[in-house]
Amino acid sequence: MTALQIHQFPCLGDNYGYLVHDPDSGLTATIDSPDPGAIRHALDGHGWKLDYILNTHHHEDHAGGNLALKASTGCTIVGARADAERIPGIDIFVSEGDSFTLGKHTARIIETPGHTRAHICYLFEADRVAFVGDTLFSMGCGRLFEGTPAQMWTSLQKVMQLPDETKIFCAHEYTQSNGRFALTMEPDNPALLARMREVAALRAAGQPTVPSTLGTEKATNPFLRPASTELRATLGLAAATDTEVFAETRKRKDQF
Sequence-distant (≥ 6) Cβ neighbours of residue 189 within 8 angstroms? 182, 219, 220, 228, 230
How would you classify the pairing of strands 15-22 and 99-102? unpaired
Spell out the domain ranges in the chain.
Answer: 5-175+209-225
| CATH number listed for the domain at residues 5-175+209-225 | 3.60.15.10
Choose among 131, 77, 123: nearest CA to 97.
Answer: 123
Number of CB atoms found within 10 A of residue 124's CB = 21
Give the tens place of pLDDT for each residue, 2-46.
899 999 999 999 999 999 999 999 999 999 999 999 999 999 999
Asked if 200 and 242 touch (Cβ cutoff 8 Å), the reply is: no
As beta bridge partners, residue 28 has 21
Told to judge if 24 belongs to the known catalytic residues of this protein, a careful annotator would answer no
Q: Is 41 a catalytic residue?
A: no
To the query of whether residue 119 is one of the catalytic residues in this protein, the response is: no
Of 32, 51, 61, 83, the active-site residue reads: 61
Q: Which of 185, 252, 251 is nearest to 221 (CA)?
A: 185
Band (1; pLDDT cuts 50, 70, 90): confident
Distance CA 217, CA 191 (A): 10
Average pLDDT of the residues in 133-146: 98
172 carries an active-site annotation: yes
3-state helix, strand, coil in the chain (%, to 5): 40, 25, 35
243: helix, coil or strand?
Answer: helix
Catalytic entry in 58, 62, 105, 119: 62
Structure confidence by residue, pLDDT tens digits, 107-130: 999 999 999 999 999 999 999 999
pLDDT at residue 128, rounded to an integer: 97
